[in-house]
Amino acid sequence: MSPLRDSGANDHIMKAKTMNRREFLKTAGLAVGGLAASQFVPRLGFAAPNPRQLTIDTRTLEVNGKAATVYGLTENGKPGLTFAPGERFTVALSNRLKEDTIVHWHGLTPPWEQDGVADNPLPMLKPGETRPYDFALEEAGTFWMHAHTLQEQNLLAAPLIVHSKEDLSADRQEVVILLHDFSFKPAEELLAALNGGKGSHTMHGGHQMDMGGMGGKQMQHDMKSMGSGHDMSAMGGMGAMDLNDIEYDAYLANDRTLDDPEVVKVEKGGRVRLRIINGAASTAFHLKTGKLSAKLVAVDGHPVVAMTGDTFTMSMAQRIDLDIDIPQDGGAFPILALREGTGDRTGIVLATAGAKVERLRVKTEAKAPPLDLTLEATLRSTTPLTERRADKSVMAHLTGDMASYQWALEGLENLKLKSGERVEIAMMNMSMMAHPMHLHGHAFQVVDIDGKRFAGATRDTVLVPPMKTVTIAFDAGKPGHWPFHCHHLYHMVTGMMTHLEVS
């Protein structure tokens, strides 16, 4: 086996160059629901001088031997932002693209007008425009930032890490891994292909489901009447779940494929904190640490009761923090992300000095299983919500089908909240695709799966598989018009998005 080149720890910065492309859909998901935002008055401006300079620009990658022009979010040429304990989010965001764009600070809890969604309430940034942001960082953890448009597909995303005092004093190396799915086709073309199907739609694995032929409307009515507390995954006659609706050209970890992965130098006997972000637009992964046992210590930036393993599931937009101890005798240790339902994989390699790094296959014959809620049902928050009766409890229905490629989040249209109210939302997935559901401006706790109550993880994105019901609880936070949507990009832009109004 031939050795791979060693790029050094997290050295995946590529040279930037201008990109000329037709414009993306600009306000992804905005027209699909929610209340008028005009009643809120935007407040922007710096409370402190010398803001961090964050730039939106283009850069060039080599993917499968071909040049690809993608987007980037950089500070002084380095991807993403890292904040020290107690530091404020005081940032000047500059758009150097030739098209409008906007960036969402995923997992943070800023004032609503600084959340980063087009026309909610602020417009997108024009080419050449710089916009100030300034707010307190309330939680330490692994977060990220990304375009809230179809530009996210073209890698307009980057890590956003907020360190705690414990992070700075800990004797460990930190490695950040940002996962992506990549296509040489523009996002609009991928979306047009999804929207162009009529009648039955071929699913992954060759299974088909024709919603029209199975009485889709009647099926939805019957399922709504069942209510929560029912595990519907075994309902017969409903076809197979759809795992992947786009076949991508490549899957990336820190901008590189597995045939030329990033090789991160680590110390023999050292400890590594892996901060892993699933920034893919529509791909879920199984994260595998191979010969290394890992301790899961946080999800979506929030600590959980530590649990040990070597395989962890990650849907779109989710993050996991893992602590790994490198053996005293050293070696090369692949950290792999396996795409659900296929043999596709990507990842990086942790290697001690002098270790031989073998070539790794990008695709294997063995297919990774679909993501389920096994891990979710096991996680326990170290900082659970205080126990109290919910002020409001509502049922949301996740609906849609692959035939029409129209998706919806129903049941929350008239939900109005006041800051401090305890809210529980039971999400019943009545479709045959899984949906990673994300709420802006809040962290929530997973408190129920199919009627089984527990004090689960605190997070901002939770997977709801087909025919499952997941309940989240949270205390309504800052006033605003907060988006609540599926983080499968193409589900969001075709309808699975609403807003929660907090006054």
Question: Please, what is the average pLDDT of the chain?
Answer: 86
178 forms bridges with which residues in the sheet? 277
Where residue 474 sits, what CATH number does that domain have? 2.60.40.420
Do both 213 and 267 map to the same domain? no
Q: What is the pLDDT of residue 45?
A: 53
Do both 430 and 474 map to the same domain? yes
Tokens representing residue 178 in the block? 């940002």
pTM of the model: 0.86
- pLDDT bucket at 431, cuts 50 / 70 / 90: very high
Q: What is the pLDDT of residue 454?
A: 96
Average pLDDT over residues 135-153: 98
**What sign for the dihedral angle of Cα 158, 263, 11, 252?**
negative
What's the domain range around 205? 200-235+376-502
- In three-state secondary structure terms, 193 is helix
In a domain, 180, yes or no: no
Q: What is the pLDDT of residue 198?
A: 33
In a domain, 81, yes or no: yes
Q: What is the pLDDT of residue 24?
A: 38
Do both 381 and 367 map to the same domain? no
Q: What is the pLDDT of residue 48?
A: 59
- In three-state secondary structure terms, 177 is strand
Distance (Å, whole) CA 221 – CA 216: 9
Angstrom CA distances, 21 to 8, 183, 255, stand at: 32, 14, 20
Do both 366 and 380 map to the same domain? no
Distance (Å, whole) CA 401 – CA 75: 41
Do both 380 and 495 map to the same domain? yes
347 forms bridges with which residues in the sheet? 336
What strand order describes the sheet that includes 416-417? 416-417, 497-502, 480-486, 435-439, 461-464
Q: 347, 372, 397 — which closes off a domain?
A: 372
If one compares 414 and 136, the residue with the highest pLDDT of the two is 136
What total of structural domains would you count in the chain?
A: 3
Q: What is the pLDDT of residue 47?
A: 52
How does pLDDT run across 48-86, given as a tens digit for each residue?
A: 578 999 999 999 999 999 999 999 999 999 999 999 999
Range with lowest mean pLDDT among 9-18, 72-81, 259-268: 9-18
Length in residues, the chain: 503
- Residue 169 reports pLDDT greater than 70: yes
In a domain, 4, yes or no: no
Q: 121, 150, 170 — which closes off a domain?
A: 170
Q: What's the DSSP call for residue 383?
A: S
In a domain, 151, yes or no: yes
Are the beta carbons of 471 and 451 closer than 8 angstroms?
no
If one compares 486 and 12, the residue with the highest pLDDT of the two is 486
Please name the residues in contact with 22: beta carbons below 8 A apart, sequence gap of 6 or more: 186, 188
Do both 363 and 380 map to the same domain? no
Q: What is the pLDDT of residue 205?
A: 28
Identity of the residue numbered 359: R
